[in-house]
Structure 1
Amino acid sequence: MTLGTGDYLTAGNAIDPRPILIVTGLVQEARIAAGPGMAVICSSSSPTQLRALLTVLDPNTIRGVISFGVAGGLDPTLRSGDVVLATEVLSGDTRWAAGLSLGNDLIDRLTSGRRRVVRGSLAGAEEVVTGRSGKAALHSETGASAVDMESHIAAAYAAEAGLPFAAVRVISDPAHRALPALARAAIKPNGQIDLAAVLRGIVRNPATLHALVSTGIDFNRALRSLRGCRDFLIGTELIESEPMVSKAA
């Protein structure tokens, strides 16, 4: 799925008509990001699909890559709606640096209201990390603030293409909350929510309703916060950085 391509100006005096590639996992995230100067792709929460989409994308047609969307919280101090500006992305034994530059006015806007903005690392995962114990173990192992299924793939693509990379992720399910299996199963291949599947699951197991409601509240709070980050995409200057650093043995 690709949305919102268009011409845009880079920071400074140079003009670069190429858009920034925005990598998302859900259609809701893609709709928020779409607009002039953005080429948006949506993986439908499938790492395999995202890799396939990037395989056919010519890196010469874009000027940078930003991973943009929600994430699972690993740092127990973070709550739904908090924004993580990535300093690096980790997956296995590989780390990718993430760089961006924000003007003071953009920082002020990002931190306005109840939105909290932190800088930290993101862990990349091939599957959704659902349970509290799994999140705690991943946090202990990596020290990452949050986890998602797109940032490590986007970072690897940017590094291979020699493009600047950044990641902006908003906490949806905090570290203390387990993500219900029904919530994961209800995501359609296009990234939309299968409401019929949700209703059938609730009928089969009414006890899941409370967990789904709590998850939905967190998710909607994260999307509201993500919308507040939309202007940031326009004002961002991507910084060239060391694309890849392997962990010491």
Structure 2
Amino acid sequence: MLKFIADAEERACMTRILDLAERVLTKHEVAVSDFLEPRYTGLAKDILRGLPDLKFVFEGGHGEAERQRIVLFPGYLEPEDLKPQIGILKITGGRKFTALKHRDFLGALLGLGIRREKIGDILIGEQYCLTVVAQELTSYIAANLRQVGNVPVQVAPLSEIEPQFGREENFKQIKTTVASLRLDAVSSHGFSLSRSQMLEEIKDGKVKLNWKETTDPAKPVQKGDTISCRGRGRLIVEDVTGATKKGRVGIVLKRLL
């Protein structure tokens, strides 16, 4: 079933998913994965849909969730028979709260000893942040998260995320031109680094294209792609506007701050 997957990380992840499926089918119990990036959820969907007597759903906390858990269960059950496998936490703070960024919230959660795989999307609003986490860690985080950056915070569980929640100004739109749609050219503009600095980041394994690590600076980038750089955030290629009179390529980037 996995012979078409060449990437070692993808194969290892799908092996773990199939182990969960085997547990469901042999022990007739519900099993749940860690939070997965989109490239893994897409692969898992293709693999799991071919298994008889098995059902599965994705849980991410909201309709456009990027990171999701897969809940696998026997075919004789229905989704409404399942217990929730994610928790939603509302984080509020004082007047300095609006200066906090995505990396600050993530760093605070990791500082509690929580693995990244147990944390879903982090959505930042004007007055508060909503964080999706594994259900089994909800109470622990609510009881122990007291500070994000240098800002004291309060944490309370929520039952759901309001539609269209978010703070758009956490994104910075960048309109620029590049010599080519190479990964190093696009990402150096997006992350405000020199081309040589960006090359080092890529070669050091700090950059992912569409959630997959790459060390190839010449990797082509296209509209809709997501570029992330460890410690620097994430870029979305919103548009490629075409060639300019000087032979460069116009692009529109959206940077998560």
TM-score of Structure 1 vs Structure 2, range by shorter chain: under 0.3
Which one has the largest radius of gyration?
2
More helix by share: 1
More strand by share: 2
Report the TM-score, using the length of structure 2 for normalisation: 0.27
